[in-house]
Chains A and B, each alone.
Chain A
């Protein structure tokens, strides 16, 4: 999966407008990135990437790029 596809998947999971996220986007500036969005991200990682994401790891994410890197 390309980075663009991953970003699109994150946008879809978080129910955010298509094309609004870039790797350098800071998560603290994304209003939709609330606790439910973080929960969605955990489910996404588990179901689509078979990766276990913890709350601690989420708290360490600064940019969208950090999420992409985690997804590998």
Chain B
């Protein structure tokens, strides 16, 4: 029996990077998954990778939080009770203040903050979850250290961490735990894109992140711990998984 046998776990942003590695791990551990992506390409990758495994798929665009309720209710059987929710959606934003127009800022805040809160609202309803539900959202060292050009992204991540602290205090009576995982730089396609657009060739992040670049498995190991009962005494936290960056 796998550790997560018959546990229902929703992974939003499951088609790439951290979310995808988590999905592979949980699939091996016997979980029943609800796998989310926003594009056809993402959905196709999930269908191909997990064919005949009996997992459910959920397609929704987090840039439009107002569409999520209808998407969730029309695509997912409302009798399912969740044991875990890991939010791996996080739109990137790198642009100086001169180009930080409201439409862009709002898109980032909608996708990274409002949609996370909305998904929590949709699943934390009566009969939507089992006691012990563990919610984790992926934050970033940017929320704590900041940096030129990442105003919108860092603000969105800091806002999510604040939301997590509030939700933990509100939801513990329903036996729901809520945490954020503050990731350092992880070796994903997003990291490759970042390095490609860097104007200087050196990676200043890795000078501070002295354990080196993280792997999606490094992050997944901590997510598995936070999803499981061993972490039952941890809630409302922003837990660093940053290779030493913030120390």
Chain A: interface residue count, which band? Answer: 10 to 19
Whole-angstrom CA separation of A56 from B96 in the bound complex? 20
- Smallest CB gap from A37: residue in B: B96
A35 smallest CB distance to B (angstroms): 5
- Which secondary structure characterizes the binding site on chain A? helix
- Smallest CB gap from A14: residue in B: B98
A46 smallest CB distance to B (angstroms): 9
Whole-angstrom CA separation of A54 from B94 in the bound complex? 14
Task: Check if B98 sits within 8 Å of A55, measured CB to CB.
Answer: no
Q: Does B79 contact A (CB under 8 A)?
A: no
Task: Check if B96 sits within 8 Å of A39, measured CB to CB.
Answer: yes
- Smallest CB gap from B148: residue in A: A36
Task: Check if A55 sits within 8 Å of B201, measured CB to CB.
Answer: yes
B207 smallest CB distance to A (angstroms): 15
Contacts known (A15-B98, A43-B95, A43-B99); A35 close to B148, Cβ less than 8 A: yes
Task: Check if B200 sits within 8 Å of A40, measured CB to CB.
Answer: no
Binds A, one of B29-37, B177-185, B191-199, B230-238: B191-199
- Which secondary structure characterizes the binding site on chain B? loop
A23 smallest CB distance to B (angstroms): 21
Contacts known (A35-B148, A59-B201); A54 close to B98, Cβ less than 8 A: no
B70 smallest CB distance to A (angstroms): 30
Q: What is the 8 Å Cβ interface bit string for chain A, positions 32-47, against chain B (1 contact, 0 not)?
A: 0001111110111000
- With a cutoff of 8 Å between Cβ atoms, the chain B residues found around residue A43 in the complex are 95, 99
Task: Check if A38 sits within 8 Å of B99, measured CB to CB.
Answer: no
Whole-angstrom CA separation of A59 from B53 in the bound complex? 48
- With a cutoff of 8 Å between Cβ atoms, the chain B residues found around residue A39 in the complex are 94-96, 149, 197, 199
Whole-angstrom CA separation of A42 from B94 in the bound complex? 10
Contacts known (A35-B148, A55-B201); A40 close to B196, Cβ less than 8 A: no
Whole-angstrom CA separation of A43 from B195 in the bound complex? 15
Residue from B96, B196, B198 within 8 A of A36 (CB atoms): B96
Q: Does A58 contact B (CB under 8 A)?
A: yes
Q: Does A18 contact B (CB under 8 A)?
A: no
- With a cutoff of 8 Å between Cβ atoms, the chain B residues found around residue A54 in the complex are 196-197
Task: Check if A55 sits within 8 Å of B96, measured CB to CB.
Answer: no
- With a cutoff of 8 Å between Cβ atoms, the chain A residues found around residue B201 in the complex are 55, 59
- With a cutoff of 8 Å between Cβ atoms, the chain A residues found around residue B96 in the complex are 36-37, 39-40
- Smallest CB gap from A54: residue in B: B196
Whole-angstrom CA separation of A28 from B87 in the bound complex? 44
B233 smallest CB distance to A (angstroms): 42
Whole-angstrom CA separation of A23 from B99 in the bound complex? 23
B window 178-220: CB within 8 A of A: 195-201
Q: Does A13 contact B (CB under 8 A)?
A: yes
Whole-angstrom CA separation of A42 from B201 in the bound complex? 15
Whole-angstrom CA separation of A58 from B201 in the bound complex? 11
Q: Mind listing 7 A-B residue pairs with CB under 8 Å?
A: A36-B96, A39-B197, A53-B197, A54-B197, A55-B197, A59-B199, A59-B201
Q: Which 5 A-B pairs have the closest CB atoms?
A: A38-B199, A36-B96, A55-B198, A54-B196, A43-B95
